[in-house]
Amino acid sequence: MIIDRLYESVEKKGTVCVGLDTDISYIPKSFLEKYNYLDHAIFRFNQKIIDATFDVSACYKVQIAYYEALGIMGLKVYQRTLEYIRSLGGIVIADIKRGDIAKTAEMYAKAHFSGDFESDFVTLNPYMGMDSIEPYLKYVNSGDKGLFVLARTSNEGARDIQFIRDEQGQSVYETVGEKLSKMTEDYIGNCGYGNIGAVVGCTHVEEAVKLRGKLNNLFFLIPGYGAQGGTAEDVALYLKNGNGGVVNSSRGILLAYKNHEGREAEFELCAREEVLQIRESIDKAARAKTEGGKNDGAKVCSEQSA
């Protein structure tokens, strides 16, 4: 099961998901000047980041918009980046946030779970309705593919819709979370989580403990750390014994070299150091949570899954 692979990766490498939202402006000028073709420069930048962080990162999230913006050339870089991560045995989340229905959704599923753009997980937007997820389930049913579905996002505008409450006082994001929790019951791995997970931002922590306990079979993709204001202590509220979620950081990792004067040529080493710092901060916060008597008994995978 793909979720067991991700759980085991977190156990071995930590909770950090490296976001490859690679904008041209993020690449050091001196590095760009080494290449005659822009696509080569972008791919080589991604490759060096991956190589430097592979043993300390649970997975990689590749945001397709940064590549689509460059046209055919960019999509070729996107394809090569996905292929490279998977060739190393890594886990890749294609951040595509699709949200259509019927045959259109079926085509999106085929495009991103097979062929040139094949990935291990994709992100989806369910706010058109839960039937927008159904065309992806035949791939999830194989055990080799998974979904991260938007439940409560990290942006401030999440309050416009996701926080609206019904007559019983339940928010929209809680309703979405419950539906996802029910849906993932058919795809539970050895670690107790399902191949359908949820995107839950760590910037809104008012009901974090309640949410984590209520959705105990959903693995979380957690955005909002760092630049958006989320802290390690916030993240720890969404984990169970240091697992049960991955924490995405993109700019903070890709641009880490800018915090170290004179180390532009070592951008990948600066990225690695940033991953290690994030990992340690979250591990420390998670341990403090557990030692504080909030150990919530997460199921431990006893075997490595293929």
DSSP-H helix ranges across the chain: 2-13, 29-32, 38-53, 65-68, 71-87, 102-113, 137-140, 158-161, 172-183, 208-214, 232-236, 251-254, 267-289
Mark whether 110 is an active-site residue: no
**Active-site residue (options: 13, 48, 61, 97):** 97
Which two structure tokens, joined as six digits, stand for 296? 């919530």
What contacts 205, CB < 8 A, 6 or more positions away? 234, 237
Query: Can you tell me the distance from the alpha carbon of 302 to that of 304, in angstroms, rounded to the nearest whole number?
Result: 7
Strand partners, 240: 243
Around 62, how many Cα atoms within 13 Å sit in the side-chain half-sphere?
32
Q: How far is CA 182 from CA 67, 198, 267, in A?
A: 34, 12, 43
Catalytic residues: 97
